[in-house]
Amino acid sequence: MKKQMMVVAGLSTLLLAGCTTNPYTGERESGKSAIYGLGGAAAGAAIGAATSGSDDRAKGALIGATVGGAAGAGYGYYVDQQEARLRQELRGTGVQVVRNGENLQLVMPGNITFASGSSDISSSFYPTLNSLVKVFQEFDKNGVEIVGHTDSTGSNDLNMRLSRERAQSVASYLANNGVAGARISATGVGPSQPIASNDTTDGRAQNRRVEINLRPLQR
């Protein structure tokens, strides 16, 4: 057992050392993909040891940790690359890229995406959406969930309708320009999920937004 633990500890050190530099930016990051790899390595080592004979348990742990670590780090590393490409493409556009574990979220403020009270995409935003199309085609292992949000001004029925129509406008643009429709979903939630106070002008502006959530299609 001591030898098995030493194997996992050694592989964990390698994973942490090797997976914390983003391949696109060259920057040191917080070990996102290394965390996935560590979990896979530990699980793989345990399985490898348990399924090997008593004389080969250290060897089984090594094989299991190697395979498990590679599988665990795979999607995390994929998201690292995708995040870097999105940040590169969306720099200066006003779109925020938010990372939460394996999920990526793109926050598009309503004032740069739509005219006030309209669900027609502003023509000035087309280049940004074209950048998204390019990245979504390059990285096609995500579902693309589009969610429209509004502030609390006006009737709830109006806000629900506007949020749905705005989400659908973005979904239609992506689908019409080459993103597989099967990956895309669109919904509107109106004012029900504020991220700031609706009592201030700045808060209402933050709440008027469209979000794109990128999550793995299959696990």
pTM for the predicted model, two decimal places: 0.69
pLDDT band at 68 (very low <50, low <70, confident <90, very high): very low
The half-sphere exposure of 50 on its side-chain side, counting CA atoms within 13 A, is 6
- Please state, in angstroms and rounded to a whole number, the distance separating the CA atoms of residues 173 and 114: 13
Per CATH, the number for 92-216 is 3.30.1330.60
Q: Does residue 110 carry a pLDDT above 70?
A: yes
Which residue ranges make up each domain of the chain? 2-83, 92-216
End-to-end CA separation in angstroms for the chain:
31
Please name every residue paired with 108 in a beta bridge, in sequence order, or none if there are none: 210
Quick one: pLDDT at residue 85?
97
Tens of pLDDT, residue by residue over 175-189, are: 999 999 999 999 999
